[in-house]
Structure formats: C-alpha cells, structure tokens
Homo-oligomer: A and B are copies of this chain.
Amino acid sequence: MSEPRRVLVTGASGFIGRHALAPLLERGFDVCAVARRAPAGAPRAVAWLEADLLDDAQRAAVVARAGATHLLHLAWYAEHGRFWQAPENVAWTAASVRLAQEFTAAGGRRAVMAGTCAEYAWGGAGALSEAASAVEPATLYGVCKDATRRVASQVVPQLAWGRVFFLYGPAEAPGRLVASVARALVAGERAKTGDGTQVRDFLHVEDVAAAFAALLDSDATGAVNIGSGEARPLREVIEAIGAAAGRPELLDIGALAPRPGDPPQLVADVTRLRDEVRFAPAIGLREGIERTVAWWRDQPRVLYSP
C-alpha cells in the first residue's frame, strides 16, 4: 500500500489553479486548496481553506492545517498589464520563500511552483531550454520569480519549477490577446491586432494545469518548461479565433503598431516535459480556440459595468 499523498494547492481559484484540482484528484492526491475565496462549483472531494497567503499568520495557519506532503504553489499577483512591474511581485517573493520553508518545516517533501518564460533572456533564436538558455529576466516579475526559485530550491527537499509560456482558455483576463479578440468577434465587433508575426508557444490552460499535476506526480526537479513546443505566429492564433467565431471578416490584422521590444520568438523546448514528466498536451490549438470562443459566446454580454 502506498503512503497517502496530500497536496496543498495555492491559487486554487485562479486561471490555472481551478483546472489543476481534477487532474490531481485523478492522480490519487488528497487535495487541500487555498484561495482568498473558495469558488462556487469546485469539486466536492477538495478541502478548501480561505486565506490571504501574504499574511504571515494566515499562511502559517494554512500550512499547519493542510499537513501536506506535496505543494503546488500557483498563487501570485497576475493582474493583466500591471503584473510585469507591479510592487506586489516583491510581496509574493517574500511570501513564497517563507511558504516553501514553512511547508518543509511541517514535513513537506515535494513542491512544484509556477515560474515563467520571462525568467529567460528574451530575443535569441531557437527554442528556450532549461539547461542551455540564459536566465536573465528583464522585468520585476521575472526577477522575482527567478529569485523565488533560487531560494525555494535550497529550502524544499524536492523542488520542480514549471516555467509557463503562453496560455489561453476560458475565463482568461479580458484584456489579453485571445480573450480580447474572441470577445470582440462574438459581439460582432471588429478586432484590431498587430501584424501577428511574433512567434509564440501557446498551450490551453487545461493542459497547463494538467502539466503541473503531472510534474508534481513525477520525480523531475529543477526548472521544467511548460509549453506546447510548437512555434506559432500570433497571426495563426488570431485567424483560428476568426474561424472558430465564424467571423474572419471582422479581423483587422496589422491595424495596431508593433510593441517596441516585443521579441520575435518565444518558444519552449519541451524535451524535459515530454520525456521526463511524460506529459503530452491533450488539446490542440484549433480545438482549444473553439472551446474558448464557445465559452465567450455563452457569457452574458456586459453592457454597462460601473
């Protein structure tokens, strides 16, 4: 009989976290989820704790209460547009390194934390690889994630660090690329975008969450890229939204000026994720975009929001 495994999931009501609970349950984990507010409609098998992890006393109480052998730390400040340079990154660095330590002190054995492709130096050619690419973050967000990884890897007996590339899916922040184009099109409005020549690595949020669950359930340690490994010009993604919405004529590709400093290519080398974690995405781009557009179509249209 194998030892019981109990995972504490932070950010469990967030964009990735809400999709991580089911795959963790399927892998046989007892799941204890924490969020500032537990969402309606979460799986019944999950124990929920409500806490602000930036508060030292609340965080310590959560760790003590969870009694977890495993930790999946997804919580962080993520407000679209602001998160790159927001001061909240520093508070989350402080809380995350202390969480790592408190988890270990309480008997925790293995943690997976959410990192980012923004830890890498951007601007090179070729796929970004955990072993070969330079770590040289250019934003406060990237620097704080990188610093958290450096400290946490010293503190937790076994730490894996999932570097997330580009993700999309239902309930994404409305200002982000896929969400904003999808919303416009299902509302019958024109969608202006840049020229879409930048090459990115997109993975559906449910696959991102499933990859985190697989990573936690593996023996891999250190940084592991979480992406599709597929190099896609943004134009392909935008056109897929047009097709899924049945309104390609509403796309206005090239109407917006390129953003200065936007790197031409950001794609993950997924060798570790594929061969060591044995994870393969289940949702292709076309299907993922179709699901996302369908989700936006089902949303009540907000005519006025104070």
Give the B-binding residues of A (Cβ under 8 A).
56, 87, 90-91, 93-95, 97-98, 100-101, 105, 140, 143-144, 146-148, 150-151, 154-155
Contact = CB atoms under 8 A, between A and B. Distances in A.
A151 B96 CA distance: 14
Contact of A87 (B87, B105, B144, B146): B105
A95 to B, nearest CB: 7
A147 to B, nearest CB: 4
B94 A93 contact: yes
Contacts of A151: 90, 93, 143-144, 147
Contacts of A147: 97, 147-148, 150-151
Nearest to A88: B101
A226 B241 CA distance: 58
A151 B137 CA distance: 11
Interface of A is mostly: helix
Contacts of A90: 97-98, 100-101, 151, 155
A148 B148 CA distance: 10
A151 B97 CA distance: 13
Contacts of A143: 150-151, 154
Contacts of A146: 150
B105 A98 contact: no
Contacts of A87: 101, 105, 155
A245 to B, nearest CB: 40
Nearest to A150: B147
Contact of A140 (B91, B98, B140, B155): B155
Q: Which of A93, A94, A97, A146 has most B Cβ within 10 Å?
A: A94
A93 B154 CA distance: 13
A98 B144 CA distance: 12
5 contacts: A90-B151, A90-B155, A93-B94, A94-B94, A94-B97
Nearest to A55: B56
A151 to B, nearest CB: 5
Nearest to A148: B147
The 5 A-B residue pairs whose C-beta atoms are closest, nearest first, are A94-B94, A147-B147, A90-B101, A147-B150, A140-B154
Nearest to A100: B90
Contacts of A93: 94, 97, 151
A192 to B, nearest CB: 33
